[in-house]
Amino acid sequence: KVASMLVAGLVLAACGKKEPAPAASAPVASAPASAAEPAPAKVYAVGTDAAYAPFEFQNEKGEIVGFSVDLLNAVAEKGGFKVKFVNTPWEGIFNALGQGDRDVLISSITITDERKQTMDFSDPYFDANQLIAVKENSKVAKFDDLKKLKVGVQTGTTGDEVVTKLQGKTATTIKRFESTPLALKELEAGGVDAVVADNGVVIHYVANNAGAKFKTVSDTKSFAPEQYGIAVKKGNAELLAQINKGLAAVKADGTYNAIYKKTFGTEPAAAAASA
């Protein structure tokens, strides 16, 4: 009997070696679910560059919070899936999706034709545009005034794109930062003359950093309207459908408006909610 138990133990050990435990990121293995008890839903890893208040940022406890987090949590609930947010630097965020390290991205990502070639986007959930931040005493009045000035942007954002288009690819006066707050800090320190970034983030920063003595300069003629979308890996039609279903539901039942009001203190303009 002891011998047979030993053999069984060896067989088990051998099996254990051949079949290593699933990686931490794989769905948790569980006993086969009965018909009455469906298998637990997979938890999708959501990448977000959490240095983008009030959309996605870390609170004092280090938790990822903000408009995007509230929105996607609500969308997931209505769409019937589960999410877990993972702070993901902007510069690697699209690669992380392409390589399957993240299943979803929500990071105030502007839907662009170029990005659509490498990922799929949900229906738009937020209207945005570029906005210029300068020191209170700056003479800058329009985007064109930045042609020869030192301008800070977050690398690889739509702000980077418009400034690169204005100044040219080889311009040495474009200062690229890994986050938008770092670019704004550099403006405060006098290292750049202006920062171009998404309006919501610039407005939030200016309002919460009175000591920086910034003002904003809007130039609707120079900046095309932008819309944020939730991204999934190209071809992940099933998850995209769940996201769009959830998004439509939260827009229809007032949840979207409530999250908007919680974040910005006002109701969204009619166009934004129906976009």
Please report, as ranges, the residues that interact with ligand ARG according to CB under 6 A. Answer: 49, 52, 56, 90, 107-110, 154, 157-158, 180, 198
Tell the smallest beta-carbon distance from residue 145 to ligand ARG (Å).
Answer: 22
Residue type at 225 in one-letter notation = P
Least distance between ligand ARG and beta carbon 169 (Å): 17
Q: What backbone torsions phi and psi does residue 93 show, to the nearest 5 degrees?
A: -70, -40
- In contact, 184 and 195? CB cutoff 8 Å: yes
**What is the rounded end-to-end Cα distance, in angstroms, of the chain?**
72
**Listed residue (51, 57, 80) closest to 70, CA to CA:** 57
> Token match 């570029």: residue?
130
C-beta of 56 vs 70, nearer to ligand ARG: 56
Residue 124 in 3-state DSSP?
A: coil
CA distance 109 to 231: 8
Instruction: Give the shortest CB-160-to-ligand ARG separation in angstroms.
Output: 7
- Smaller CB separation from ligand ARG, 78 or 107: 107
Residue with Cβ nearer ligand ARG (67 or 90)? 90
Return the number of the residue (129 or 255) whose C-beta is nearest ligand ARG.
129
Smallest distance from ligand ARG to CB 180, Å = 6
CB of 219 to ligand ARG, least distance (A): 17
Pinpoint the alpha helices (H) of the chain.
Answer: 2-18, 67-79, 90-98, 113-116, 158-167, 180-189, 199-208, 237-252, 255-264, 270-274
Shortest distance, position 150 Cβ to ligand ARG, whole Å: 20
| Closer residue to ligand ARG, CB minimum distance, 94 or 256 | 94
- What single string gives the DSSP state of each residue in 163-228? HHHHH-TT-SSEEEESSHHHHHHHHHHTS-SEEEEEHHHHHHHHHH-GGG-EEEE--TTTS--EEE
Q: With respect to ligand ARG, which residue has the nearer C-beta, 167 or 199?
A: 199
- Residue 217's DSSP bridge partners are 132
State the minimum distance, in angstroms, from the CB of residue 257 to ligand ARG.
22
Q: Compare residues 140 and 162 and give the one whose CB is closer to ligand ARG.
A: 162
